[in-house]
């Protein structure tokens, strides 16, 4: 009798009430549409960049953004910070930047004869790390440590960073002279690497009109409270993921490490290293966040396919053979998604 009673709840917990979960997610994710509408007032086109920013925010991750200058990267994260009413800092990375310029330092007060902490720009909710590859390794490490630990040590004390906390680091793909490329192990700390391109013709015409118009440039309104974002992060983790979807994630990531096992022997010499366990974790979290933004309480294979390129783009190392044959990581990802069996 007791054994029967114990087995009942265990079965229920492994398969949640999807209908009730859907209702909860639909209610909790209502702010997503409001946020997108406000962002559209300011950002013309670049919907993919805006949606990826939101995915990273809901997944408690960070983004490495690659794109030429003038594609509204700064405008996007500034607008998002206004919509949520949080603090925003833009840090221009330069070769002469010091870690103290980023995290802060101890200042001696002669009047009181004691040191006090002067916090740096990292103590904001949203950080735009502009051209991160222009700063030397010490500064890059200081930022990446803060991203990972969510805290900064200045002198003898450790200071917590505010929540929600999001770093958008940008790289210019054109100028590589005088830059310090991020080490592969450090790049892995970014949840996603998003590559953005030029706007379409009709979008560019609208951009011209809005920038030369006599009407003041529109500013987004606050539509979401920071507490709502923190609650949404907890709700995102409640989104149901079936074991078959988990297996699909594992198969995709393992195919980057051992392509031959998945019938992709032609890729063996093209990949020098594959995705780490962080890739699997990030893919699962991003897929749950994607389902949340679609007002759905469960993950489907299409969610995985939607987030996989941005999760894997910076986690697959290309061999010399791949570079010689002009094969990109995107080519490899496309091949993996086409060949790995979908549940």
Model confidence pLDDT, tens digit, residues 110-139 = 777 777 788 889 999 999 998 888 888 888
What is the percentage of the chain residues whose pLDDT exceeds 70? Answer: 94
Model confidence pLDDT, tens digit, residues 292-323 = 999 999 999 999 999 999 999 999 988 898 88
What is the band of 4 on the pLDDT scale with cuts at 50, 70, 90? Answer: very low
- Give domain limits for the chain: 32-214, 232-339
Element (H, E) at 65: strand 63-66
Return the CATH number of the domain spanning residue range 32-214: 3.40.50.300
How far, in Å, CA of 116 to CA of 110, rounded? 11
Given a cut of 80, whether residue 109 has pLDDT beyond it is no
Model confidence pLDDT, tens digit, residues 253-294 = 999 999 998 888 888 889 988 899 999 999 999 999 999 999
Beta bridge partners of 153: 158
- 166 in Cβ contact with 233 (< 8 Å): no
How far, in Å, CA of 104 to CA of 120, rounded? 4
- pLDDT, residue 176, reads 63
Q: Which CATH architecture has domain 232-339?
A: Orthogonal Bundle (1.10)
Q: Torsion over CA of 21, 301, 275 and 72, rounded to 10 degrees?
A: -80
- 103 in Cβ contact with 154 (< 8 Å): yes
How far, in Å, CA of 115 to CA of 138, rounded? 24
pTM of model > 0.75: yes
């Amino acid at each position: 009798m007791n054994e029967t009673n114990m087995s009942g709840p265990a079965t229920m917990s492994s398969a949640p009430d999807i209908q009730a979960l859907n209702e909860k997610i639909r209610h909790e994710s209502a702010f997503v549409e409001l946020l997108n509408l406000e962002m559209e007032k300011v950002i013309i086109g670049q919907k993919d960049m805006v949606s990826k920013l939101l995915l990273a925010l809901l997944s408690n991750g960070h983004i490495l953004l690659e794109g030429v200058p003038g594609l509204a990267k700064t405008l996007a994260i500034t607008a998002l910070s206004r919509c949520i009413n949080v603090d925003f800092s833009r840090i221009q990375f330069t070769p002469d930047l010091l870690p103290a310029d980023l995290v802060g330092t101890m200042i001696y007060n002669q009047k009181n004869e004691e040191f006090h902490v002067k916090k740096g720009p990292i103590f904001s909710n949203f950080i735009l790390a502009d051209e991160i590859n222009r700063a030397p390794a010490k500064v890059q490490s200081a930022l990446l440590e803060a991203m990972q630990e969510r805290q900064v040590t200045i002198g003898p004390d450790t200071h917590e960073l505010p929540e929600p906390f999001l770093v958008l680091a940008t790289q210019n793909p054109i100028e590589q002279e005088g830059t310090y490329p991020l080490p592969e192990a450090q790049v892995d700390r970014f949840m996603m690497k998003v590559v953005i391109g030029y706007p379409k013709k009709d979008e560019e015409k609208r951009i011209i009109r809005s920038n030369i118009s006599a009407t003041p440039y529109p500013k987004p309104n606050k539509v979401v409270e920071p507490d709502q974002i923190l609650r949404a992060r907890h709700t995102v983790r409640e989104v149901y993921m079936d074991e078959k979807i988990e297996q699909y994630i594992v198969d995709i990531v393992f195919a980057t490490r051992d392509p031959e096992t998945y019938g992709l022997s032609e890729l063996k010499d093209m990949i020098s290293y594959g995705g780490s366990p962080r890739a699997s974790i990030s893919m699962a979290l991003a897929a749950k966040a994607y389902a949340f933004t679609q007002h759905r309480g469960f993950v489907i294979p299409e969610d995985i396919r939607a987030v996989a390129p941005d999760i894997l783009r910076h986690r697959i190392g290309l061999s010399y053979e791949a570079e010689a044959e002009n094969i990109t990581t995107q080519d490899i990802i496309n091949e993996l998604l086409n060949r790995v069996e979908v549940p």
